[in-house]
Amino acid sequence: MTYENVLLFLGALALFLYGMKMMSSGLEAAAGNQLKGTLEKLTTNRFLGIAVGAGITALIQSSTTTTVMVVGFVNSGIMNLKQALWIIMGANIGTNITSQLVALNFEKVAPVLIFLGVILVVFVHKKKFYYIGEIIAGLGILLYSMHLMQDCLAPLQQEPAFIDLLTKFKIPVIGLLVGLVFTAILHSSAASIGILQALAMSGSLTLSNSVFILYGINIGTCVTSLVSSLGSSRNAKRTAVMHLTFNVIGAILFSMITIFTPFVPWLASQWPDNPAVQIANLHLIFNLSTTIILIPFGKYIVKFSEKILPERPEELMTEQHLRFLEPSILKVEHHKVGAIAIFVTQLQRETERMLSFARTNIERSFNATRETSEKIQEQVWNTEEYIDYLNKEISYYISHVISLEMVEQDSVTINSFFRITGNIERLGDHATNIAGYANLMDENGLHFSEEALSEVDRMKEASLQALDLIYEYKEIGTTSILVEKMQAIEQKIDDMTREFRSNQMARLQKGSCSGEACVIYSELLTDFERIGDHLLNIAEAIDSAKIIDFKPADELTPALEMNA
C-alpha cells in the first residue's frame, strides 16, 4: 500500500465522518427539540424506552449521541436509571442503520444525492429545505466515501505484513482490543464498522478475521459516554457504567458463541458474495440478541451500577432531587390512616423549596441588569431547570394521590397546590426572561439610564416584598388577609408599571435612551407586571387551600445556594 493510498484513505475517512456529521446535524435540526422532548416524556415502560432509543438513534445516526444525551438527562434528574437503561439498549439497536445503509451499496447514486443535497443547501433559502439538503448530501458523501475507502484499501490484500496481521485479529483478546481502541479514537462505532466494511468489500478482510474487532467496537463506543459522565452526578456515571456493562456482556457472550459454535461460518454462508452485508447483519444480530437476552435482567444491571458506584451523601447535595416527597407516599392505600395529612405536609415543604428557588432567581435577574456576568446567567438557568424539575415531580405526586378517598378540604388543598406550583413555575420563567434581557443588553452594548436602573431597583423591591409576604402572612392573621394585602401590592405593581412606561416614553422623546434599550425595557416591565399577577394567584390558592403555615425553605444546601 503506497503513501498516496494512505493519504487517499485518510481523506475518504474524513469524508465518511463528515457525511455522518452532516446527516446527524440535519436530522437533529429538522426535528428541533422533539428528540429531546420524546426522551424527557418517556415512561417507565421498558419496550417503549427501547423503541424510542432505537428510533432516535436511527434518526441521528449515532448511539454515542443518544447515550451522552441520556447521561445528561440522568444528571439533571429528568430520567432515572431504569429509563436510561432501556434507551441505551434501544440506541445499540438503532446504531445499526449506518452499516445497513452501507451494505445496500448505493455508491452509484451517491453523486446524485450529493448534487441534490448541495442544491437545497446553497440555493433554497428556507431552513427546512436546508436541513433536508444536509441530510441528503450527508448520505451521499457517506456512501461515496465508502467507495473511495474500498479502492484505497484494495492493495492491502497483496501485502504480506497485513495478511500476517489478519491471523492475529482472530485471537479474541487482540481483536477486541483493536476494535476498542480504534473506536475510542474515532468516537464512532458506525465509522469503525464502516472501515471494516470497506476492508471487506476491497477483499482485504473476511468476516472471520473481523468478528472480534466488531465485538471490540461495541465496547469502544462506550468510551465517549464514560468521558462525558466525568464530573457529573453519581447517577450519570452509573448510566455510563450500565452502557459499558451491557456491551461487555454482549461481547463476552458472542465471543464464546464464535469460539465454540459454527455461528460465524454459517452467517457468512448466507451472503457469500457480500461481505459488507455479513458485517452489517452480524452487528445487528449482536445488538438485537444482547438486548433481548438482557431485558429481563435490567434491574440487576441497575443494581450492579449502584454497587460499583455506591451513594455518597455529599454528592446528593448537587443533584436535582426531592427533599420531602418520597416514593413510599404513592403507596398510601396500604396505610391510609394519617397518610393524606403526611402527604399534604410533605407537599407543602417541597413547594416551599420551589418558591425559595423562584425568589432567588427573581432577585438575581433584577441584579443582572446592573452586574451582568456569565456566572449569574448560568446560576439563573440552572435554578430555572431545578424549578421546572420540581414542578414536574410535584405534579406527578399530586396526580397519583388525588384519586384516593379523602375529606373535601384535603381534596381542595391538594388541588390548590397544582395552581400554586404552576404559578411558581411561571415566576421562574419571568425571572429567566429578565436575566435574558440583561444578557441581550450586554451582548449588544446597550445600557439603561440611571433613572431606568433606579426604577428596576424599585421593581425588585416590590417583587421581593410581595414574595416575602407569602412567608409572613401567618403573623398578620388569616389567609384572607394575605389575599387583601397581596391585592394591594399587586395594584401597586400595576401602578408602578404604568408610571414607568410613562417615564420611559418621556426619556425616549428627550433622546436620553436608545430605541433598542427602550424595547427591552418595555418587555422587562411586562414581566414585572406579570410577576405581580402570579403572586396574587398564589395568595388566592393559599387561601383556597387553607394552608396555615407557609414558611421559607431553610433546607437549601451550600452547594445548591452556590450553583442553583
User: Structural domains in the chain?
Assistant: 3-308 (no CATH), 327-563 (1.20.58.220)
- Three-state SS at 104: coil
Q: Identify which has the larger pLDDT, 498 or 221.
A: 498
Does the pLDDT of residue 65 top 90, yes or no?
A: no
Does the pLDDT of residue 376 top 90, yes or no?
A: no
Range from 185-189, 437-441, 471-475 that averages highest in pLDDT: 437-441
Does the pLDDT of residue 107 top 70, yes or no?
A: no
C-alpha cell at 244: 459499558
Does the pLDDT of residue 162 top 50, yes or no?
A: yes
State how far the Cα of 348 lies from the Cα of 342, in Å rounded to an integer.
10
- Three-state SS at 533: helix
Looking at residue 335, its pLDDT comes to 42
State how far the Cα of 121 lies from the Cα of 273, in Å rounded to an integer.
37
Does the pLDDT of residue 367 top 50, yes or no?
A: yes
Does the pLDDT of residue 334 top 50, yes or no?
A: no
Does the pLDDT of residue 476 top 60, yes or no?
A: no
CA proximity to 220, closest of 237, 249, 253, 244: 244
Looking at residue 560, its pLDDT comes to 42
Q: What is the pTM of this model?
A: 0.55
Residue 370 DSSP one-character state: T
Least confident of 82-91, 119-128, 224-233, 487-496: 224-233
